[in-house]
Amino acid sequence: MENDFRSLKLLDHLQFVFRKLGINYPVMRKILEMKLTMDQRRVPTIFSGNASEKKEGNQFVKSLWIYALYGIILIFFIFIGDNYMFQLGIIFGISMFILMTSLISDFSTVLLDVRDKTILHTKPVDDRTINAAKIVHLTLYMLMMTGAFLGIPAIVMLIYHGVGYFLLFLVSTVWMILFIIALTALVYIFILRHFNGDKLQDIINYVQIILSICLVIGYQVAIRVFDFVDLDIVYHFSWWHVFLPPIWFAAPFELILHHNTAVSTIVLSIIALLLPLIAIYLYYRLMPAFERNLEKLLDQTAMGKEKKRPFVAMWEKLLCRSNVERAYFRLAYILMGEERDFKLKVYPSLGIAMVFPFIFIFSQTQSFAEVSKGNGYFNIYLALLFIGVTVSMLRFSSKYKAAWILHAAPVEDVTKSYSAALKAMLIKLLLPIFMLIAVVFILIFSVRIIPDMLIVGTVAVPQTLISYKLLKGEDFPFSEKFEATS
């Protein structure tokens, strides 16, 4: 490891703090160096859409540019309204969402690294040093991410709102980061205590998917939001605002800068000050329990109930002729629902396919009555766009090596296995999305569009076949490694 990390050199200046806390600094530095080196070989979710080739260097550092880009959206909110509760509520809301989902999707591996257990905890290194390395590692990244995301907006704030606002924003941001880290960890602690590791992995998987969807949709919405520049919103406190963390962090601005001494503002400010501290303290207290529960990620005692899959049973009887085809149908159907890597690559485009038709209809400045008389329902074709991507993904599996059984078994017809997989895709992924959009569209545009919907549904089939032809799948589905091409 001949890597020199600037962050570690900066950390060297703070080593007295760690030594004071009884942490073995050289060992902690070694661990961090190893972790940072490994991170250079990892691709973050925010990038995963177009990770076409192996790139050198820390992908995370490069992804910071994207965070900076998304941060620019925040600038717009700095100028709206005079009420800080509303203005900063939105800014903190977006920041918390982006930072927390990124933390969950990209740094869960850091928080939940079970390899630490076998590799580090078996060595003559004390727990305090290992835990310190973990927290410093996480904090380093959160600082970089927050810096990239909020850096430009913060400068704009300094210019537009002055030094007081800027400093208060810096302090609140640090408080917010502490809160996010502690909250994420506490959520993990809760999940691990009540569910098994598999459930946690599933939840993380879905957060990753939601992050990818929201980034694309957020971009679409953000472009259109500029049409509402003249909106003038008056903030009224309601009791349930106590449960909205972004509002807490906005309250001190009202209190200190606007001298708004309403009871609600004071209460919210106190919450903003205290709750992150309480969360961090709780995290610190529950850390040993957390480490113990991490064992569950290696859990090998899950019993599981038999999963009846009545839908699969029905569809395979309707759509497949031979036993073998039915077997492939079922395999494809289950894998599409259970495989996390596949879901991470495909489900975001499903979510987008589901939302885009609506965004495109309602972004036109027409009244609802006008829309419902128009031909906006053609936008349902947008929902079919994901078919191409999904078909090309059917080749891959994170368990691609398991495909040996397909070769060893007395089945040589790749085409048949693909036709079963394509059918499963249409049923499992397209049908629910299509039905949902179609039903909502029929509600909007009246029953006159039912024939159109039927035609669109039928078009999906040849489109799937054409996508498959273009793909020229020569090997069995689910038999190639994800990274190879995508």
Residues that bind other proteins (CB under 8 A): 198, 299-307, 323-324, 326-327, 330-331, 334-335, 338-339, 397, 399, 401-402, 404-412, 478
Please say which residue, 402 or 439, places its beta carbon nearer to other proteins: 402
Please say which residue, 48 or 397, places its beta carbon nearer to other proteins: 397
CB of 398 to other proteins, least distance (A): 9
DSSP assignments along 319-374, one per residue: H--SHHHHHHHHHHHHHHHH-HHHHHHHHHHHHHHHHHHHHHHHTS---HHHHHHT
Please say which residue, 151 or 337, places its beta carbon nearer to other proteins: 337
* DSSP code for 476: P
CB of 190 to other proteins, least distance (A): 21
Please say which residue, 39 or 325, places its beta carbon nearer to other proteins: 325
CB of 3 to other proteins, least distance (A): 25
If we measure between CA atoms, which residue out of 424, 259, 273 comes closest to residue 339? 424
Compute the C-alpha angle 108/287/285, nearest 5°. Answer: 140
CB of 370 to other proteins, least distance (A): 47
Please say which residue, 198 or 483, places its beta carbon nearer to other proteins: 198
Check: CB of residue 203 under 8 Å from CB of residue 190. no
Please say which residue, 241 or 326, places its beta carbon nearer to other proteins: 326
CB of 340 to other proteins, least distance (A): 8
CB of 402 to other proteins, least distance (A): 4
Please say which residue, 402 or 455, places its beta carbon nearer to other proteins: 402
| Cβ atoms within 10 Å of 415's Cβ, excluding its own | 10
Check: CB of residue 426 under 8 Å from CB of residue 459. no
Angle separating helix axes 310-319 and 323-338, nearest 10 degrees: 140
Residue 480, SS3? Answer: strand
CA torsion angle 274 276 281 287 (round to 10): 160
Quickly tell me which residue has 């006159």 as its tokens: 448
CB of 332 to other proteins, least distance (A): 11
Structure tokens at 426: 């249409």
CA torsion angle 332 333 335 340 (round to 10): 130
